[in-house]
């Protein structure tokens, strides 16, 4: 369980760091789509950063995706090495994804976006938007992910076990 907690912490810290560093350099349309609708509307004409900054932001996002994929591969291979069966492997993936989702909801959405107002600083034209007070602004997307994640974890566990039985790992 300590391994899973450390892995989830690695993902969360990497994601948070990338969000904080990449957001000011990313195209507003990329960043705004995760924010309340009235905020999106108020900031739709925000100027884009220079192309080189956008490229840096995309590279940082690619680093995060590589870390995330690397973690999935590590969890799967380590689970296979330790003799995990289907349900234990699926539970391992689910535990890590739900820890990350909890961090996403509590730290990124509720603290960084709403309480600290990080994006208000990036998009000052949104200062008076009501969306900054809406604690459930991302509820539909979060609920969808919470429902879909178990199926993804089952699929991942099946894929790793299939690869083991096929002799590929």
Residue 93: what pLDDT? 97
Is residue 148 predicted with pLDDT exceeding 90?
Answer: yes
Q: Which of 122, 93, 88 is nearest to 19 (CA)?
A: 122
DSSP letter (8 states) at residue 26: S
Which tokens sit at 144?
């969808």
φ and ψ of 150, to 5 deg:
-60, -35
Read off the pLDDT band of 15 (50, 70, 90).
very high
pLDDT tens string 54-110: 999 999 999 999 999 999 999 999 999 999 999 999 999 999 999 999 999 999 988
Read off the pLDDT band of 11 (50, 70, 90).
very high
């Amino acid at each position: 369980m300590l391994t899973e907690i450390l892995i989830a912490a690695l993902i969360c810290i990497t994601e948070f760091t990338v969000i904080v560093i990449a957001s000011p350099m990313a195209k507003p349309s990329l960043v705004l789509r995760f924010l309340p609708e009235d905020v999106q509307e108020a900031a739709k004409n925000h100027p884009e950063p220079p192309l080189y900054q956008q490229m840096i932001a995309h590279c940082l996002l690619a680093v995060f995706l590589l870390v995330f994929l690397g973690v999935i591969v590590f969890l799967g291979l380590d689970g296979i090495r330790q003799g995990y069966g289907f349900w234990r492997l699926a539970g391992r993936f689910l535990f890590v994804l739900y820890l990350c989702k909890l961090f996403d909801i509590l730290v990124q959405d509720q603290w960084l976006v709403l309480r600290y107002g990080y994006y208000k600083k990036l998009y000052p034209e949104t200062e008076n938007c009501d969306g900054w007070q809406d604690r459930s602004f991302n509820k539909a997307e979060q609920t969808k992910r919470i429902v879909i994640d178990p199926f993804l974890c089952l699929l991942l566990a099946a894929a790793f076990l299939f690869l083991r039985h096929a002799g590929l790992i």
